[in-house]
């Protein structure tokens, strides 16, 4: 893996970069659509390519359970299995396992949990998380971490952070033994909302020399202002020449704000999940397409959007599809929302290149403020 910084904004911490991976080049800042079970819901790989998606996120927890990472490996790896020839990032499964709460037991060795599908018992260790992702063949894999619920006091956050760092050490050591040149392992900064713990975590990981660093444990219920503060406080402790990945965030406005704080990579289920629920993104916020006011509306979702859906279909038609529970509703809504996110990232990269990122940031804040007032 190679990461190069092409431009740094002069008024913010925003960076314009390029990530070279085994299956292609990724322009950063980048948004990764979530393909949980080796598919982005309602989208074919060809449709994703037509939207200029450069990298996907897939979920090793779900793929480990169904169809099984060994099966995927026998079938040629995740890229061949799902017909996707561009880069893939896989998470470790930590967040999904820890969200099971009553169905798992954590120890220093790893976590034992019950499958949400059939109740069968499984054990996931740091070494196992690496082996699973190696079998899947992703370009970037994530270390296993202990995901902390919000709110949590300092003592609980300290225990969780130290466990995450111990597991990161084991992932790193095992990765050195089994990895191929086509894969990279990222570490994950933890520590809740406590700056001192975040600093300790970041410094520990940097000492191990990971090729990239994720900021985990955010967007779990804390206020946006607190999330931004954590990112701002941890960023100085992360190497400038390594990519920074904010996990599970967020709204288009969050992306703009967090790029200004130095983040390079994002993922979130929001554009696809919102699409299936009939919530569509526009420059002035999102709209609920089921609302009766769109029944006879001949206009596009967003008249400033250049996506195929806005060029072709009216709000009235999209409302009809949603109300009729047609499969095409999820397809078209998802296509629009993903285009909106990817177009946002393209605009972000352009504003950084022109050293005018503060103008984009001000415009997004103004629109967000206006939407809140309404």
Question: Mean pLDDT, 10 residues at a time, over the chain (374 residues)?
Answer: 97 98 98 97 98 98 96 98 98 82 86 90 96 98 93 96 98 95 97 97 98 95 95 98 97 97 98 98 95 98 97 98 98 98 98 97 92 72
Q: Identify whether 267 is a catalytic site residue.
A: yes
Look up the CATH superfamily of 2-267: Queuine tRNA-ribosyltransferase-like (3.20.20.105)
pLDDT attached to residue 160: 95
pLDDT attached to residue 104: 85
Q: Identify whether 91 is a catalytic site residue.
A: yes
Six-digit token string for 182? 């086509």
pLDDT attached to residue 373: 67
pLDDT attached to residue 210: 98
What is the C-alpha separation between 124 and 332, in angstroms, rounded?
A: 38
pLDDT attached to residue 52: 98
State the span(s) of the chain assigned CATH 3.20.20.105.
2-267
pLDDT attached to residue 203: 98
Please return the burial class of 228, using the count of CB atoms within 10 Å of its CB with bins 0-12, 13-18 and 19+.
middle
- Cα dihedral 336, 262, 267, 222 sign: negative
What is the C-alpha separation between 189 and 276, in angstroms, rounded?
A: 32
Sequential DSSP letters for 12-54 = SS-EEEEEEETTEEEEESEEE-EETTSS-TT--HHHHHHTT--
- Which entry of 145, 264, 267, 343 is annotated as an active-site residue? 267
- Which entry of 9, 91, 139, 302 is annotated as an active-site residue? 91
What is the C-alpha separation between 266 and 256, in angstroms, rounded?
A: 11
């Amino acid at each position: 893996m190679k990461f190069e910084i092409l431009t740094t904004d002069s008024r913010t911490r925003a960076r314009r970069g390029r990530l070279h991976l085994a299956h292609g080049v990724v322009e950063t800042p980048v948004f990764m659509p979530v393909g949980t079970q080796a598919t982005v819901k309602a989208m074919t790989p060809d449709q994703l390519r037509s939207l200029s998606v450069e990298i996907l996120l897939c979920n090793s927890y779900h793929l480990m359970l169904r169809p099984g990472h060994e099966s995927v490996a026998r079938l040629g790896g995740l890229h061949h299995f799902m017909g996707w020839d561009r880069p893939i990032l896989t998470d470790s499964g930590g967040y999904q396992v820890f969200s099971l709460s009553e169905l798992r037991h954590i120890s220093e060795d790893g976590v034992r949990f019950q499958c949400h599908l059939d109740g069968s018992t499984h054990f996931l260790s740091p070494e196992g998380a690496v082996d699973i992702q190696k079998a899947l063949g992703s370009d970037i894999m994530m270390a296993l971490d202990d995901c902390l619920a919000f709110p949590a006091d300092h003592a609980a956050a300290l225990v969780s952070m130290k466990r995450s760092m111990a597991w990161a050490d084991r992932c790193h050591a095992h990765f050195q033994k089994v990895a191929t040149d086509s894969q990279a392992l990222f570490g994950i900064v933890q520590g809740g909302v406590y700056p001192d713990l975040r600093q300790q975590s970041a410094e520990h990981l940097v000492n191990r020399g990971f090729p990239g660093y994720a900021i985990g444990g955010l967007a779990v219920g804390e206020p946006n202002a607190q999330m931004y503060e954590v990112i701002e406080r941890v960023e100085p402790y992360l190497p400038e020449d390594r990519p920074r990945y904010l996990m599970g965030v967020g709204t288009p406005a969050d992306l703009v704000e967090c790029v200004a704080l130095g983040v390079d990579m994002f993922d979130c289920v929001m554009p696809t999940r919102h699409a299936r629920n009939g919530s569509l993104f526009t420059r002035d916020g999102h709209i609920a397409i089921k609302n009766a006011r769109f029944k006879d509306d001949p206009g596009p979702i967003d008249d400033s959007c250049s996506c195929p859906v806005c060029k072709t279909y009216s709000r009235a038609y999209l409302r009809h599809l949603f109300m009729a529970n047609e499969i095409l509703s999820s397809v078209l809504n998802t296509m629009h929302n993903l285009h909106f996110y990817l177009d946002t990232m393209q605009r972000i990269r352009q504003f950084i290149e022109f050293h005018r990122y503060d103008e984009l940031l001000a415009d997004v804040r103004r629109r967000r403020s206006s939407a809140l007032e309404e």
